Chain A
Amino acid sequence: MFRLIIRRLALGLLTLVLVSGIVFVAVEALPGDACTAYLGRMAQGKRLENCRRDFGLERPALTRYVEWTAAAVQGDLGISLKRNKPISGIIGPRLRNTLVLGLAATMIGVPIAVLLGIIAGLWRDRPVDLWVSTTAILAMTIPEFVSATMLILIFSIWLGWLPGIVTTPPNAPLFEFLSDIILPIVTLALVMTAHILRMVRTSVIDVMASDYIQMARLKGVPYWRMVFRHVLPNALLPTINLVALTIAWLLGGVVVIEVVFNYPGLGRLTINAIADRDLAMVQAIALILATIYVGLNLFADLLTLVVNPRLRTMQT
């Protein structure tokens, strides 16, 4: 088992190294660099040369890549020329806001999804299943900016209960976000619930159709005992990975939700950074989001290892 864990850790690390390489090359391949973006129309002749020399941009790409990653590992993400500040300082509070949003949506969405998924799976093709599954398809397919817009229309414009747009500054203490964050959380939780619910439902149905459940039925195991002892453990285990994948994937799309609600998180910072051509910032955000993705997947894999007795004793 330890070899399995170490192998998994190494794989995650390798993925991150590759990600950093891809991000660096991609930004490098685009026309223009940090100095042309910073100087704008004045980017020519002496000025451009001076700027490039000051920030060491004339050195070979490989040297800069090694320096960049070495610094990033130590938590130093470089300096944003546009904003003239260290990037870590700008990203810090916004990363916190995005993580709070994601965590809250997960804590609300996942239990609801698992519960509804089990219900829909156990009562397959009954009215309750049709309702749950149809709603899930709607929630899953309607774009986040559409559901967000509808929520704003209903809850802030028509009912006037909640603010539709966040005006709190990024680094305000968390409790000041309380009323602001409700609609963004609902929007994110809605999509998340729909996706996870469908996976749980499919998994429950698969297990219910399996031979050992047939056997348990034939042996006359009481229904609920069978559900809790045999169906649920086997149905929920394989979903751990899918859930992590979905959450990670949705976090990448949190950009849209943050823009709609003007929520001061990493997503909105991304849009601003792209509009300003703040390439160093974009690189840093891409790296952070990828790290969260890899980390979540790693966590899910390790959790599966710990929970699943079959894998625990496996030799590789």
Chain B
Amino acid sequence: MALTTTSNTASGKRKTAFGGLLTVLLAMASRPSGLAGLILVSLHILMAIVSPAIVPYDFKELNAQFILSGPSFEHWLGTDNLGRDILTRTMLGGQKALFVTSVATILAIGWGGSLGVLLGLVGGRLDDILMRVVDAFLAIPWILFLLLIVSVVGLGNAVLIPTLAFFYGIPVVRMARAATHDVVALDFVTAARARGETRFTIVRQELLPNVLDVLLVEGAMRWSWMLLGFSSLSFLGFGVTPPTPDWGLMISDARSFMSLAPWAALAPVVALSSLIVGINLSADALAKALGIDRAQTAPV
């Protein structure tokens, strides 16, 4: 009966958080592209965790005998212009990017999502005013301000994470607001209202499970955009401080001796691209597994 229906999505059927997670992961892995994406992302995360223990060399160890040497038994992927082992640096190069972007993505989805849901529910004048401000922020080239803030305040996680979280959270506000509007108009919310449920119960029982799915997919997409953004920053020299290995910075360094040692650029290029492609494939698979219309039509 309509009166006893609470939620009509998969999340309503999930028994426990773990069981739900497993169901979603299995659904994601059932497509070849989703499986490939999940494997790529897991491998990268695993690599970021275990690499400090298994790298063959010290990442800042200079070796004058092996400058720009090609792949060999001692150095599988060759060495860079300072004689540093490229395999070591590539294995470690994703750590900071992964850490900064995953924390910042969670923060961005958190603040953007909450504000968006709130505005979608409350509406009225507050909504009108804040959405104009959101539009204005969307028009401002974010990279310019990120660069400005980093150059004035300095590098470091304490600067990068909040700044990235702020700028990447702005589009999330719009998304969450639109998703809230979509759900609020549905029958089961009207039914809950008619039953005389309190506002808090409606938000928790009816709204959040549905909006959360959209936010999860959005978060996965934002994560890949943010990785793109972070590596661009680091490529421009505004991300990490040398000699910390980072793919963006490594590619930027390798460009100056690319004609002599193309492999020095190729290793971080492959590493960075495979991570971002992996996140994208996973995000698409997640969208399909959760039944979000927007990406349901994407094949890969």
Binding site for B on A (CB under 8 A): 14-16, 18-19, 21-23, 26-27, 30-32, 124-125, 129-130, 133-134, 137-138, 140-146, 149-150, 152-153, 157, 198, 201-202, 205-206, 251-253, 255-256, 259-260, 270-271, 274-275, 277, 282, 285-286, 289-290, 293-294
Our pick among B151, B273, B281 for the contact of A275 (Cβ within 8 Å) is B151
B255 within 8 A of A: yes
24 contacts between A and B (CB under 8 A): A18-B133, A19-B140, A22-B137, A30-B153, A32-B152, A124-B299, A134-B300, A142-B276, A143-B273, A143-B276, A145-B232, A146-B272, A149-B265, A153-B262, A201-B297, A201-B298, A252-B142, A252-B144, A253-B232, A256-B232, A259-B236, A260-B255, A285-B144, A293-B138
A178, B248: Cα distance in complex, Å = 29
Across the interface, do A149 and B232 meet the contact criterion of CB distance under 8 Å? no
Kindly list chain B residues whose C-beta atoms are within 8 Å of the C-beta of A275: 151
Closest-CB distance, B57 to chain A (whole angstroms):
25
Q: Which residue of B lies closest to A138 (CB)?
A: B277
Given contacts A152-B258, A255-B144, A256-B235, contact A18 B136 (CB under 8 A): yes
CA distance A129 to B298 in the complex (A): 10
| Distance, CA A248 to CA B231, complexed state (A) | 21
Q: In the complex the two chains form, is A271's CB within 8 Å of B265's CB?
A: no
Contact residues in A for B252 (Cβ distance below 8 Å): 145
Contact B228–A141 (Cβ < 8 Å): yes
Q: Measured between C-beta atoms, what is the minimum distance from A268 to chain B in Å?
A: 11
Which of A205, A260, A282 contacts B148 (CB under 8 A)?
A282
* Residues of chain A contacted by B255 (CB below 8 angstroms): 149, 152, 260
A19 touches B232 (CB 8 A): no
> What residues of chain A lie closer than 8 Å to B273, measured between beta carbons?
138, 141-143, 146
Given A143-B231, A145-B235, A149-B269, A129 and B140 touching (CB < 8 A)? no
B143 to chain A: which residues have CB within 8 Å? 252-253, 255-256
> Contacts of B299 on A, CB cut-off 8 Å?
124-125, 129-130, 133
Which of chain B's residues has its CB closest to A291's CB?
Answer: B139
Chain B residues with CB under 8 Å of A259's CB are 236
User: Looking at chain A's contact residues, is the secondary structure mostly helix, strand, loop, or mixed?
Assistant: helix
Q: With A202-B297, A252-B142 in contact, is A150–B152 under 8 Å at CB? A: no
Q: Which residues of B contact A251 (CB under 8 A)?
A: 141
Number of A-B contacts (CB under 8 A): 145
Shortest B202–chain A CB gap in Å is 30
CA distance A38 to B144 in the complex (A): 20
Task: Please determine whether A15 and B297 come into contact, CB atoms closer than 8 angstroms.
Answer: no
Docked-complex contact B139 and A141, CB < 8 angstroms: no
Is the pair B248, A145 in contact by a Cβ cutoff of 8 Å?
yes
CA distance A150 to B270 in the complex (A): 11
Interchain CB contact (< 8 A) of A146 among B136, B138, B269, B279: B269
The minimal Cβ–Cβ distance linking B142 to chain A, given in whole angstroms, is 7
Residue numbers in A under 8 Å from B133 (CB-CB): 18, 22
The 7 nearest A-B residue pairs measured at CB: A252-B141, A18-B136, A290-B139, A205-B297, A293-B139, A141-B276, A289-B141
Q: Cβ of B232: which chain A residues have Cβ within 8 Å of it?
A: 143-145, 253, 256
Complex contacts, A141 vs chain B, CB 8 Å = 224, 228, 273, 276-277, 279-280
Q: Output the nearest chain A residue to B254 by Cβ-Cβ distance.
A: A149
Q: What 1/0 mask marks residues of chain B from 105 to 125 whose CB sits below 8 Å from any chain A CB?
A: 000000000000000000000
User: Of B132, B141, B144, which contacts A14 at CB under 8 A?
Assistant: B132
Query: Does chain A have a CB within 8 A of B99?
Result: no
A149 lies within 8 A of B132 (CB): no
Residue of B nearest to A148 (CB): B255
Give, as a whole number of angstroms, the nearest-CB distance from A170 to chain B.
Answer: 19
Complex alpha-carbon distance, A26 and B145, angstroms: 8
Q: Which residue of A lies closest to B147 (CB)?
A: A274
The contact string, 1 if C-beta is below 8 Å from chain A, for chain B 80-116, is 0000000000000000000000000000000000000
A246 smallest CB distance to B (angstroms): 13
Q: Which chain B residues lie closer than 8 Å to A137 at the CB level? A: 277, 280-281, 300
Q: Which residues of A contact B176 (CB under 8 A)?
A: none
B141 near A22 (CB under 8 angstroms)? no
**Bound-state Cα–Cα, A32 to B152, Å:** 9
Given contacts A141-B228, A259-B236, contact A274 B140 (CB under 8 A): no
Q: How far is the CA of A153 from the CA of B251 in the complex (A)?
A: 12
Residues of chain B lying within 8 A (CB to CB) of residue A150: 269
Please tell me if the beta carbons of B139 and A294 are within 8 angstroms of each other in the complex.
yes
Residues on A with C-beta less than 8 A from B148 are 26-27, 30, 274, 282
Q: Does B259 contact A (CB under 8 A)?
A: yes
Among A15, A125, A290, which residue has its beta carbon within 8 angstroms of that of B141?
A: A290
Is B135 in the interface zone, CB < 8 Å from A? Answer: yes
**Does B149 count as interface, using CB distance less than 8 angstroms?**
yes
**Within 8 Å CB of A134, what residues of B?**
300
* Interfacial chain B residues near A21, Cβ < 8 Å: 136
Closest residue to A296 on the B side, CB-wise? B139
**Could you tell me the distance in whole angstroms from the C-beta of B168 to the nearest C-beta in chain A?**
13
Shortest Cβ distance from A88 into chain B, in angstroms? 18
> Do the beta carbons of A22 and B300 come within 8 Å of each other?
no
Q: Which residue in chain B gives the minimum CB-CB distance to A120?
A: B299
